[in-house]
Amino acid sequence: MNDLDDLVSQAERDFAAAGAPAELEDAKARYTGKAGRLTDLLKGMAALAPDEKKTRGAQINQAKQRIEALLTARRQALADAELAAQLQAERLDVTLPGRQRGAGGLHPVSRTMARVEAIFASMGFDVADGPEIETDWMSFTALNNPENHPARSMQDTFYVDMQDEAGRWLNLRPHTSPMQIRYAQAHARRHAGAAHMPDIRVIAPGRTYRVDSDATHSPMFHQVEGLWVGEAVSFKDLKAVYLDFVRAFFETDDVTLRFRPSYFPFTEPSAEIDVQFGSGPLAGRWLEISGAGQVHPQVIRHMGMDPERHIGFAFGSGLDRLAMLRYGVADLRQFFDGDLRFLAQFQ
Ligand code: DAH
């Protein structure tokens, strides 16, 4: 074994001992670097005779090539080992179940609203939507509320720091009843001068607001307004329509309605509608679900129609209340707390 073979095997051992790329590059410098041993050998050739130089030069070059081949092989081995270690460390267990994306769903009150809309639509009712910020005239005056009616007071109605043309504060509508006026006015305008005006048959579900908060009242709640006005609409139509609705909504014929005399400024006569289930957890109890009545002649006038000719009924039902009864929820506030554990049960 000559000195060059010796050098090559030393390099091989050194490279093998390098456990990381940086160590390997240090080892490489010791052989082929500027002050490396091969470089020293090449420098040492200066003193040799020309033909000795030739053979020695060829031998050194050969040794250099072998060292470089060893280096390349060791580099590759280190890179392979590093990749293998990384793959091991970042290994994924593809047999684990994936993280599922929550599917989301409709809020129980939204579901109730959709259900009410579908039932009334099947009975030929249009579905209307309107503003939640209302004028004093729409919320109260048009609905025949006297100037000093307590509903206007700050204790019941939220006011908005904005005035209408009459200089009156706008309000967050305390009921959906202004939609009776808005819808009927547009209808009456559309059919002005016609020999026959088609009946108005509409429901208007939506958000309503009142200064009120306990287990059965929330400052924001939902109502559904109903209106049927024509030339021969009577209280019996109200009874029939509402009974059909309640049966469809609760999916039972085992339900009784009671029309209890009441008072609203915009209806005369007025009634509260109570339901009683023949079976189930609420069986036998009378539960109030709606106000209703025959539309007051003054309101018919404000709708742009003639009370001598047009007559009808209206109702305003608590949508949240309907949802509570249908789903058996005791505290209204649960609908609006945003607790997913509660809400997810309705999906
Ligand atoms: N607007 C009434 C309320 O919020 C409910 C109501 C009663 C609506 C009688 C009506 C009705 O349309 O005829 O208390």
What DSSP element (H or E) covers 38?
helix 37-44
Using the CB atoms, write b or e for 269-296: b if 16+ within 10 Å.
ebbbbbbebeeeeeeeeeeebbbbbbbb
Q: How many helices (H) and strands (E) does the chain have?
A: 11, 10
Ligand 1 centroid, distance to 139 Cα (angstroms): 11
**Euclidean distance between CA atoms 74 and 197, whole angstroms:** 96
For the residues 242-265, what does the mean pLDDT come to?
Answer: 97
- Comparing 147-161, 235-249, 250-264, the range with the smallest average pLDDT is 147-161
Residue nearest to atom 12 of ligand 1 (CA): 315
* Mutual angle of helices 235-250 and 319-327, in 10-degree steps: 40
Ligand 1 centroid, distance to 316 Cα (angstroms): 4
Ligand 1 centroid, distance to 207 Cα (angstroms): 14
- Confidence grade of residue 3 (pLDDT, cut at 50, 70, 90): confident
Q: What tens digit of pLDDT does each residue of 180-198 get?
A: 999 999 999 999 989 899 9
Q: pTM value?
A: 0.73
Q: Which distant-in-sequence residues (6+ apart) come within 8 Å of 219 by Cβ?
A: 158, 209, 210, 211, 212, 213
**In Å, how far are 29, 66, 83 from 32, measured between CA atoms?**
5, 12, 27
Amino acid at 130: G
What DSSP element (H or E) covers 179?
helix 178-190
Where do the domains of the chain lie? 2-89, 108-346
Q: What are phi and psi of 44, to 5 degrees?
A: -65, -15
- Confidence grade of residue 296 (pLDDT, cut at 50, 70, 90): very high
CATH number of the structural domain 108-346: 3.30.930.10
- Confidence grade of residue 202 (pLDDT, cut at 50, 70, 90): very high
User: For the chain, what is the mean pLDDT?
Assistant: 94
**The pLDDT value given to residue 150:** 80
As beta bridge partners, residue 259 has 273
- Confidence grade of residue 83 (pLDDT, cut at 50, 70, 90): very high
Ligand 1 neighbours, Cβ below 6 Å, are 175, 177, 225, 264, 267, 291-293, 314-316
Ligand 1 centroid, distance to 218 Cα (angstroms): 17
346, 335 contact by CB (below 8 A): no
**The pLDDT value given to residue 1:** 53
Residue nearest to atom 8 of ligand 1 (CA): 316
Pocket probe mutation, ligand 1, options 172, 175, 233, 321, max atoms within 8 Å of Cβ = 175
- Confidence grade of residue 209 (pLDDT, cut at 50, 70, 90): very high
The phi-psi region of residue 121 (left if phi > 0; otherwise alpha if psi is between -120 and 50; otherwise beta) is alpha
269, 294 contact by CB (below 8 A): yes
